[in-house]
Structure 1
Amino acid sequence: MIDRTFFEPDPRIYFRDLFVSLFVFLVAFVWGLGTTGPLVIVPWALAAAFLARAGIFGHEISHRPNDARLKTFYWVWHLTVGVVTLVPTARFAEPHRIHHTTGIFGTRNDPQYLLVRSNKALAFFVLVVLPFLTPIYTLFQVVVASIGGIALEERLDRFTQRVFNFSISTPLPEKRKAEVTWLSRLYLLAFGIYAVLLPEGVLFYYAVLVGAWLIIVLRIPLEHELVAHAETSSRQDQMRDSFTVETPLALLIQPIGFRYHTAHHMYPGAPYHNLPALHAHLKATEPGYADSIISYWSAMRGPRPAARAGAVPPPAEPGTSS
């Protein structure tokens, strides 16, 4: 039985960690705007790293959007980090809820279980191309939602799916659609003001967003096997097919508790600041849990040899035999 204290969020810790990240991001961003030449890479790297760290709190929010204890934090995040990233958390919450659902996790219906280890083309797109496209895509979503609300976005999505077999949207809960619309208009206004007042800073802003998204996508192969889809999944699969990297080096691209990914998948209701203690508890009491703990090198190299039962091999790449 897991103690309920593991599931109690502490808003003070949330605000402390968020404000530290925002402060470093802002200092580095302003520094970068006034810097030219090769030295600009230093403030760029700092701004990107700490924007990614601040942005990952959106993942925390998506797991407890209705928690009254974090209501103020919810809006502070959306009116600070959200303005910079152009992403309301509601756009992420539903696909992520599906990803955590036992029975769907790790299957073809899991929108966040990307086979980047077995599909080289997908790996290149996700880990190299996607960070450059995401800032443009999120701005596009903000523009569309600002003009015609989520209804226009859904009409465009139906059109692109019908004509191009390609989706430009993510499912949104009905109760969040109005919120996403007015947040999008606020974000577009803020972006417009920035672009008008500091047109020379738009390229640096884009570069920082690319760097932040690069950090976020690089953690994807460190968290699951991502070799083949399964027909279904059990609660045990949430443990077996999730990695934990204990080395502090993982903090570089897995901040805010992400390196304790096994504990997170077993108990997604536990806030990030309780994951180290929950990890220690599971390590001492849960049979098989320690098998999910791997080195940084092992996480980058590939999954454990014992693949999950019921996995469906990915389709062969063109020109290869199945």
Structure 2
Amino acid sequence: MAERAADIPWAPEIQQAMRDFSVQQAHRALGGLFKPRMSVYWADFLCSYAVAVASFWAVGPLGGFTPAGTLAFLVSVFAVFRCFAFIHEIAHFRAKKSFNRFRAGWNILFGIPMLVPVFMYDCHGEHHNRRLYGTGQDAEYLPLARMSPWTSIQLLVLPLVLPLFGPYRFGVVTPVSWFVPRVRRYLYRNLSSLKIDLDYAGRQPRDDERLNWRLQEAACLVWIAAVITAAATGVIATGRIGQWCALFATVAVINSVRLLAAHRYLGDEEEMSVVEQMMDTVNHPRHRLLGELWAPVGLRLHALHHLMPGLPYHNYQTAHERLVAELPTDSAYRLTESPGLIASLRRLAQESRSHQKAGTLLPARSPSATVKEGVTR
């Protein structure tokens, strides 16, 4: 890969703002905000988890197609989505010993039952790597603004089949891979990373990771077997499995919408500087309560996250307010703001159509929407 900056046709005023922007100055303005408070993580996750479980259960006695049952289902969707989003924080702070218990707790209570164990998001570090962000080695990025609008539409349609992915990956391919090396290589290359780019090739587990990954895979397999047994013996109603599939698909669709609004996707598959990454990413500072539904756990301030990936989510709002107050009014950071979700989606569609009319679209690629992608970016 050539080592050059991405060839993005920024407007002259944006180029000047980028040249004037100081990452060091921004970092100094955020002093004291980089220490994660585990009590906040535990309280937020466990409360969200309790709401998710209670509302999911309530759909049964309320009736799935009644107004009350529908409301309970929607509450479970957004509570589950918030729980999912913590995998993003876990990926960023996995090197901190203070996160070990939270990582394990999240995985046992949520990741494995949802068939998205934490190791499947270990690829997220590449999305923040200066040399890899926006390139073919970034699992969570496609240059959508330079691709056909149909590619973005696919990202909204494919989540409907994602409830089948976990059972297939862990219930079918996993046990076969334990005995067939070729299948095992295929499994880790193609089915072990949360990604939107199907061309992305995942890595094999390192020697010190192999046992841990296998244990997580085995736990998912046991969970699938337990659910099938419970359904077959009448312990749980088969309708609950359908409800889980509907829940998973709905969360995945919402996350795909969030993903489309999280970046401008202007990259040309070459490396970007930290400032370019920030400018290619979007902040949604308005409508905070609504934003916490479709972009939970800090994901609505995504440009801030790409500027300061070591910042814990519970300090995002304070950090954003400091930067807005202390940086110049024409700062590049201010240019990452979007009026809202619809405006961001409209801008992406306009960029894509513009390239389509100009005949400058990149070759088609095969996207695949997932929950944690991003949730997790």
- Shift of the 241–276 alpha-carbon distance from structure 1 to 2, 3 Å rule, reads same
Q: Which residue of structure 2 lines up, in the alignment, with residue 184 of structure 1?
A: 217
TM-score by length of structure 1 reads 0.85
Q: Which residue of structure 2 lines up, in the alignment, with residue 258 of structure 1?
A: 299
Contact kept, 8 Å, 1:224 with 1:243, in 2: the verdict is yes
Superposed counterparts of 1:1-322, under 5 Å: 1-2=27-28, 3-39=30-66, 40-94=69-123, 96-117=124-145, 118-129=147-158, 131-143=159-171, 144-149=173-178, 153-157=183-187, 170-174=202-206, 175-197=208-230, 198-200=236-238, 201-247=240-286, 248=288, 249-286=290-327, 287-296=331-340, 297-302=342-347, 313-315=360-362
- Shift of the 303–315 alpha-carbon distance from structure 1 to 2, 3 Å rule, reads closer
Contact kept, 8 Å, 1:108 with 1:230, in 2: the verdict is yes
TM-score by length of structure 2 reads 0.73
Q: CA deviation at 1:109?
A: 3.3
Q: Which residue of structure 1 lines up, in the alignment, with residue 3 of structure 2?
A: none
CA distance in 1, matches of 2:339, 2:324: 15
What per-residue deviation string (whole Å, max 9, x for no partner) do you get for residues 148-198 of structure 1?
34956533359989xxxx779733541333222211221222232223222
Contact kept, 8 Å, 2:261 with 2:345, in 1: the verdict is yes
* SS of structure 2 residue aligned to 1:257: coil
* SS of structure 2 residue aligned to 1:106: coil
Contact kept, 8 Å, 1:115 with 1:122, in 2: the verdict is no
Count residues with an aligned counterpart.
307
Larger mean CA deviation between 167-176 and 54-63 belongs to 167-176
- Structure 1 unaligned regions, length at least 5: 308-312, 318-322
CA distance in 1, matches of 2:187, 2:201: 6
Q: CA deviation at 1:147?
A: 4.6
Return the structure number with greater relative CO, CA threshold 8 A, min gap 6: 2
* SS of structure 1 residue aligned to 2:168: helix
* SS of structure 1 residue aligned to 2:113: helix
CA distance in 2, matches of 1:169, 1:72: 30
CA distance in 2, matches of 1:282, 1:7: 14
* SS of structure 2 residue aligned to 1:294: coil
Contact kept, 8 Å, 1:154 with 1:169, in 2: the verdict is no
Q: CA deviation at 1:5?
A: 2.3
Q: What is the identity, as a one-letter code, of the residue corresponding to 1:244? A: N
Q: CA deviation at 1:54?
A: 0.2
Identity fraction in percent: 21
- Structure 2 unaligned regions, length at least 5: 1-26, 192-197, 231-235, 353-359, 365-377
Q: CA deviation at 1:6?
A: 1.9
